Amino acid sequence: MYERFGKRCFDVSVSLFLLLILLPLYPIISLLLLMSSGTPLLFTQIRTGQFNEPFKIIKFRTMKNNKKKVNNPQDAWYEGVPDDFIFKSAHNSEVTKIGAFLRKSSIDEIPQLFNVLRGDMSLIGPRPEVPEITQWYNEKQLNRLLMKPGLTGWAQVNGRADSCHGHKIEHDLFYIKNCSFKLDLKIFILTIVAIWKGKGAY
């Protein structure tokens, strides 16, 4: 019942609240981005949503080049994305100085609240991957697409960007199986703690 009705109410009410209380940050972030690296202020990218449907994710731009390249694997992942695959790296020369701060503090994710309000995403759920990765999902990995992607999730509060793909899949499938208001509230609180510590975010 919660997953079908209550989750959307939670998404809309909390997203609107966060957008309002964070309102003073928008002009400050915009000015910092303009002064440090110019326009565009926002970064958009196609991600894979629920039931394998693509959507456009929105973030504050953190890289010099707005068009982030996603390299395909040298060998096709015919048996699924390898468990030891890690998409992000702590060292990326394309990330600007202000961008590094925005990533560390997760401020770059704020525009995704509009994705949540639009219904593309949920506050809590599996993080949306790029199609270049999800196209190689095996049958088990495809199960993480049964739920709407989230701004944060069980995998993020258990490692954030430090986790390998296999661990993320296991955490996401655990969440999908055990989704509840109590678990969502726990993840929401743990996310605040993780952001405060700044561990595994880059």
109-149 per-position pLDDT tens digit: 999 999 999 999 999 999 999 999 999 999 999 999 999 99
Please state whether 183 falls in left (phi above 0), alpha (psi between -120 and 50) or beta: alpha
Residue type (1 letter), 20: L
Here the tokens at position 146 are 């049964």
Is the CB of residue 132 less than 8 Å from the CB of residue 72? yes
**Residue 44 half-sphere exposure toward CB, CA atoms < 13 A:** 7
200 compared with 11, residue with greater pLDDT: 11
Work out the average pLDDT over 179-190: 96
Q: Which of 193 and 87 is assigned the larger pLDDT?
A: 193
Are the C-beta atoms of residues 47 and 129 closer than 8 Å to each other? yes
| Token reading at 32 | 């910092």
